[in-house]
Structure 1
Amino acid sequence: MYKLKDVAEILGVSDRTVERYLKSYFSMEKGAYQVSEKMLEVLKSEYLESESNTVVEEFTKEEYQEFHKRLSEYPFLKEHAEFLLKHLEYYRKSMSSKERQMELLLLAITNKKFIEE
């Protein structure tokens, strides 16, 4: 919380200017607060944003149909992705094995040339 004087110093204006600005947001009348439209929007954005992480977004009919189509395809695509990952791992191991075989062949050829010379 800031005092009126602190806010005025931060903004580089007079205390009176800050006071007038605050009065544009709310006022006291007969012991009750009256809140301006600007203040209501500030309160809504602060309160509603912090209280809810839910985002509501409307779909057009076409967007909803596309979403529904993709949603129904998800299990198949997930299964296909898992299948591809298994095959990728298999080919990775296969290539590693072939690299090792090539290294052994090159070593054998090098040793044979060394023995012949």
Structure 2
Amino acid sequence: MEEKKYTTTDVSKKINVSDRTVRRYIDKEISKIDGKYMLSEDAYNFIVNKYSSDNSRTTHGQPADTENNDDEFDIIEAFSQEEYLEFQKRLTEYPLLKEKIEESKDRLNESKEYIQTLLNELDYHKKTYHKHLEMHQKMIDVFQQRNFIEAKEKGLDQ
């Protein structure tokens, strides 16, 4: 089955830029100097990742796994097309998920502050309520003393 091919116009419509911009993007990624194609690191990695998975694995790994003289990479692992797409999806989701986590942390901190404010207000109202109870009790005591004094003056205490 032949792989579908796309024109620069197809790409420009998909990413909503001009056809000329897409050609500039391609020129950034692939150029021809002295008859040799020069690839950007992204283009190089794309081609290596896409076509190295076509090689069949042996018990010693893929040829690139065992013949890599580049000390930059300690581990090289081939992805299946499905695994690569899932990996790519996770990489693109990461910044969004990280942002959502930070927003959740902020909302949690705001909620904690709000709850602490409510607890402080509740404590204030509780103390105020107890002060009012104290005042009312004192008023009741004063009225009882007054009534007792008036009853004694009128001789009603006997």
- Normalised TM-score (structure 2): 0.38
Which residue does 1:43 correspond to in 2?
Answer: none
- Could you tell me which of 132, 135, 141 is aligned with 1:115? 135
Shift of 1:102: 0.3
1:77 to 94, 97, 103: 97
Query: Which runs of 5 or more residues in structure 1 are unaligned?
Result: 1-51
Greater share of residues in helix:
1
Offset of residue 105 of structure 1: 0.5
Distance 1:53 1:116 in 2: 81
Partner SS, residue 94 of structure 1: helix
Identity of aligned residues (%): 27
Distance 1:57 1:112, change over 3 A: same
Q: How many residues align?
A: 67
Aligned mate of 1:60, from 80, 86, 89: 80
Tell which structure's C-alpha radius of gyration is larger.
Answer: 2
In 2, Cα distance between the equivalents of 1:59 and 1:115? 78
**Within 1, Cα distance between the matches of 2:122 and 2:112?**
15
Q: RMSD over aligned Cα, in angstroms?
A: 2.1
The partner residue of 1:96 within 116, 140, 145 is 116
Distance (whole Å) between structure 2 residues aligned to residue 113 and residue 73 of structure 1: 59
C-alpha distance in 2, partners of 1:113/1:75? 57
After superposition, the C-alpha distances for 1:46-86 in whole angstroms (9 at most, x for unaligned) are: xxxxxx99333332221111110010111111111111111
